[in-house]
Every structure is written in structure tokens, then in C-alpha cells.
Amino acid sequence: MTTREQLAQRRLTREYIKLSPLHVRMTSYERLDDDMGGWRYIRGEQRYTQTFRLIENSQAGSNAAVVSINVDGVVREIEFLLLGDYCADIRLHDRFEKDGDEFQVVEIWPDNGWEKRASVIRHARS
């Protein structure tokens, strides 16, 4: 892809995000083993506000959540795609809130040079 084409893709991504923006502050989480065969997440830093678009899988052409099995063998239903600008700061296990629900990044998609994408799950309200 040429530089000109990449710049055009970046512009299109920004315009698409502007149609339904989501302004969030990501909070990083680190997975910590508990030395007994289990693990837990430790809350880290909360970063600056960023703008994304949260896309339900049904909007992306599917009527059902995508089933994903991660390296730990955990089966998850991926309900959302998080789309950000090419320079967005998205990290595995990041969490953010929207309308009282907590969302967690469970997969970072390969970098294509014009947008950042991540698979996201929603945690039930407690």
C-alpha cells in the first residue's frame, strides 16, 4: 500500500468513528498468577481519554456473537469490535465503561497501519 493510500484509509477510519464516537479512558489490567494454579487481574493505570467506535458484531454483518477460544482455553463470545485511530493506545486486558457496563479487550487485531482494532466482551453488571 502506498503512503497516499494509507493516508486515505486513515482519513476514512476517522470519519467512520466520528459517525458514532465513544470517548473512554482505558484502564490497564495485568494478569497475575496466584501460585496455586489460578490467576487474577491487577488494576493498573488509567490512561488519557481516547475516541473509538464500538461496533456490535450484528452491525458487522453477523447475527450472532463470534466464539473465540483464547490461549488459556477460555471460551468467550466476542460481541463487539473496538475501532480506533491508527495511533490509539489499546492493550490486551484493557477495560473501559460505557453506560454502566464494563468492557474488556480480549484480543488485539494485527496492525494494518491505518486503524487499531480489538475484540471486546461486555461483563455483566453486578
pLDDT tens sequence for the chain (126 residues): 899 999 999 999 999 999 999 999 999 998 888 888 888 888 999 999 999 999 998 655 554 555 555 555 655 667 899 999 999 999 999 999 998 889 999 899 999 999 999 999 988 665
Cα angle 120-103-44, degrees, rounded to a multiple of 5: 105
Whole-angstrom Cα Rg for the chain: 16
Instruction: Burial-class residue 4 by CB neighbours within 10 Å (0-12, 13-18, 19+).
Output: exposed
The total domain count for the chain is: 1
* Domain that includes residue 27, residue range: 3-123
What is the reported pLDDT for 116? Answer: 97
**What is the CATH classification number for the domain harbouring 116?**
2.40.10
